[in-house]
Amino acid sequence: MEITFLGTGSGMPSKNRNVSSLALKMLQERDEVWLFDCGEATQHQIMKTTIKPRKIAKIFITHMHGDHVLGLPGLLSSRSFQDGESAVELYGPPSLKEFVETSLKTTGTHLNYPLIFKPIAEGIIYQDQDIKVSAKKLQHGMPSYAYKIEEADKIGPLLPERLKKLGVSPGPIYETIKNQPTTVLPNGTEVHRNDVTGPDIPGRRIAICGDTKPVESLAQWVQGVDVLIHEATFMEADEQLANDYSHSTAADATRLAKKAQVNYLLMNHISSRYQQDLLEDEQTRLKDIFSPLQFVEDFMEFTVK
């Protein structure tokens, strides 16, 4: 799993930061890219990366403010000309469907692939044998959501010494043993997978939060995730502004990360009023509260381990 930040600014684009969008690349796991938010010019940002639009299988919208959705019609249209023929699932508030369909209709845009709309509410919104996605409502003056992506645990590694004691030599039989609960050897011996594998490998977990005021219950919901991606529109000195506009400060995000005992905090949706030197000073200060954390930048990539 790799995260590519396509837009890390808030409200409107600046010279250094485009508006909100990030890509979760799962090319090895499922040969797909999932997009979270799609602000204006997201497709231009994608062109500066190795991401192939035809690989985008799901798009998750946190809320319907323009800096999170205005790039969506253009991206969907361009995908038709970039060998994109497989369906795209669109997850978001119920009004997402009307916005997309109206935009495509009034511009005479015809897609050569189907769109599948998935209106969201709190709870599990997608699940298969390998991964689960949940949504939680936030506080932002309009419906805004956080998404949590959770991989299923993986079967632990085979323990060769235990297999050796059972007379199992290395070979294709190893894969057979790992892929099924019980394997019967040619001599009639039953090998139970749980007896010859190590502890399960925990699946990775990522939480991606839309715009929001601090939400008390969010700490429990994101408890212990590997990566928390949270808005930091304002610095702590502008806490009143954050409250007035239903946003969070970087300090709010940091306190949440500490309370939830997450492994890593990445902060985005940063106001253009803050220059890089101020962000560096604020980041250094906040590390006294929680670490590791980082203000992200456009095109930054982060591998989830």
pLDDT per residue over 101-138, tens digit each?
999 999 999 999 999 999 999 999 999 999 999 999 99
Find the mean pLDDT for residues 70-93: 94
Q: Do 76 and 143 fall within a single domain?
A: yes
Question: Is residue 68 annotated as involved in ligand binding?
Answer: yes
CA 259/CA 250 separation, integer angstroms: 14
Q: Is 195 annotated as a binding residue?
A: no
Is residue 123 within a helix (H) or strand (E), and if so which, with residue range? strand 123-127
Domain coverage including residue 113: 2-153+202-303
Percentage of the chain beyond pLDDT 70 is 100
Q: In what order do the strands lie in the sheet with 32-36?
A: 115-119, 88-92, 56-60, 32-36, 21-26, 2-7, 301-303
| pLDDT-derived band at 88, boundaries 50, 70, 90 | very high
Annotated binding residue 44 = no
| pLDDT at 23 (0 to 100) | 98
Residue 200, marked binder: no
Rounded to whole angstroms, how far apart are CA atoms 161 and 16? 55
CB atoms within 10 A of CB 87: 13
| Crossing angle between the packed helical segments 250-260 and 276-286, to the nearest 10 degrees | 30
- Mean pLDDT throughout 17-31? 97
Domain shared by 28 and 144, yes or no: yes
Kindly state whether residues 145 and 268 are assigned to the same domain. yes
Q: How many domains does the chain have?
A: 2
Shared domain check, 178 and 96: no
Residues 186, 139 share a domain? no
Q: Mean pLDDT, to the nearest integer, of 3-14? A: 96
Provide the annotated active-site residues.
67
Q: What φ, ψ does residue 137 adopt, rounded to 5°?
A: -75, 140
Please give the backbone phi and psi of residue 138, each rounded to the nearest 5 degrees, phi first: -110, -165
DSSP-derived secondary structure letter, 154: B
